[in-house]
Amino acid sequence: MAPPPLPPEVEEMLRRPNPAVIATLRADGAPVTVATWYLYKDGQIIVNMDAGRRRLAHVRRDPRVSLTILDDNDWGTHVSVQGRITLSDDPNLASIDEIARHYTGQAYPIRDRERVVGVVEIQTWHGWGRFASLS
Amino acid sequence: MAPPPLPPEVEEMLRRPNPAVIATLRADGAPVTVATWYLYKDGQIIVNMDAGRRRLAHVRRDPRVSLTILDDNDWGTHVSVQGRITLSDDPNLASIDEIARHYTGQAYPIRDRERVVGVVEIQTWHGWGRFASLS
């Protein structure tokens, strides 16, 4: 585990549309994981959730999250980050559209549901595979 | 979230050598995620760790874990399971060899480090993508 900043080669990988998994904490403190889209931007991880997601109640109660991002070319290389998430509205779906375009080339197809932006401030990170020696 | 058993088509996916991420809990209760190999066997998830891993101390203190398994053909389909992990020794590295063969076709290359087997008893699961309607 190392504190930020992340090395440039790690940042370059994180900027690609990779598979990722986020862990949040249930009310009883148990971890819950789910696959997620994300954006790496200004040294932070941006995620986005439907306003009805149970995951939102989890992070409102305890904002500690962990993400593992798998290199889309070879998942033997992966990066994990731990940090705290801050939530805000996503009016006009501008943030989810940016993320959807990053992954699919298109705006987000579901337009009639409110979305919430989550910004993860990275506190520690660790790399494996070709990043093993960097963290 | 649904209790086991998992539907046959989900089990079929889980039996392939897919990318997966496991979340454990740090001493302070924060989640930590990392990519992992796994085997799905007899309705349980088998993982394996180097005996020196900090993750072992985490799960000895709190055995609650969550895994997300991504379909290796299309990670828009993924399955998450929550459960408790039970640890045991891996003498002769039989279990890590079985897992390594599943992913790489070969025995595990590092022979001079002790390994620990983790068996995750599935308590709840959820599917997305082509499994969204099943859980």
B33–A25 C-beta distance less than 8 A: no
This prediction has a pTM of 0.97
Convert chain A into a string of H (helix), E (strand) and C (coil).
CECCCCCHHHHHHHCCCCCEEEEEECCCCCEEEEEECCEEECCEEEEEEECCCHHHHHHHHCCEEEEEEECCCCCCCEEEEEEEEEEEECHHHHHHHHHHHHHHCCCCCCCCCCEEEEEEEEEEEEECHHHCCCC
Interface contacts A/B by beta carbons within 8 Å: 89
Find the DSSP H helices in B8-82.
8-14, 54-61
E strand or H helix that includes residue B96: helix B94-104
- Interchain proximity B19–A19, CB inside 8 Å: yes
State ipTM.
Answer: 0.97
Q: Which residues in chain B touch residue A34, judged by CB atoms under 8 angstroms apart?
A: 68, 78, 80, 126, 128
User: Of the candidates A22, A35, A80, which has its C-beta nearest B34's C-beta?
Assistant: A80
Backbone region of residue A114 per phi and psi (left: phi > 0; alpha: psi in -120 to 50; beta: other values) = beta
| Burial category of A98 from C-beta neighbours within 10 Å (exposed 0-12, middle 13-18, buried 19 and up) | middle
Average of per-residue pLDDT across A26-47: 97
Q: Where residue B88 falls among pLDDT bands split at 50, 70, 90?
A: very high
Question: What is the distance in angstroms between the CA of the first residue and the CA of the last residue of chain B?
Answer: 6
Closest CB to B31 among A25, A75, A128: A25
Superfamily in which the B8-131 domain is placed by CATH = Electron Transport, Fmn-binding Protein; Chain A (2.30.110.10)
- Asked if residue B1 has pLDDT above 90, the reply is no
Chain B residues with a Cβ under 8 Å from any Cβ in chain A: 19, 21-25, 29-35, 62, 64-68, 70, 75, 78, 80, 82, 126, 128
Q: What is the pLDDT averaged over residues A23-38? A: 98
Cα–Cα distance for residue pair B116/B125, rounded to 1 Å: 24
Of A24, A126, A128, the CB nearest to B31: A24
Smallest CA–CA separation between A99 and chain B, in Å?
Answer: 15
**Kind plus residue range of the DSSP H or E element containing B95:** helix B94-104
Asked if pLDDT for residue A135 goes beyond 90, the answer is: no
Closest alpha carbon to A31 in B64, B63, B116: B64
Q: Are A30 and B82 in contact (CB under 8 A)?
A: yes
pLDDT band at A1 (very low <50, low <70, confident <90, very high): confident
Question: Which pLDDT band, with edges at 50, 70 and 90, does B45 fall under?
Answer: very high
Q: Answer yes or no: do A64 and B29 touch at CB < 8 A.
A: yes
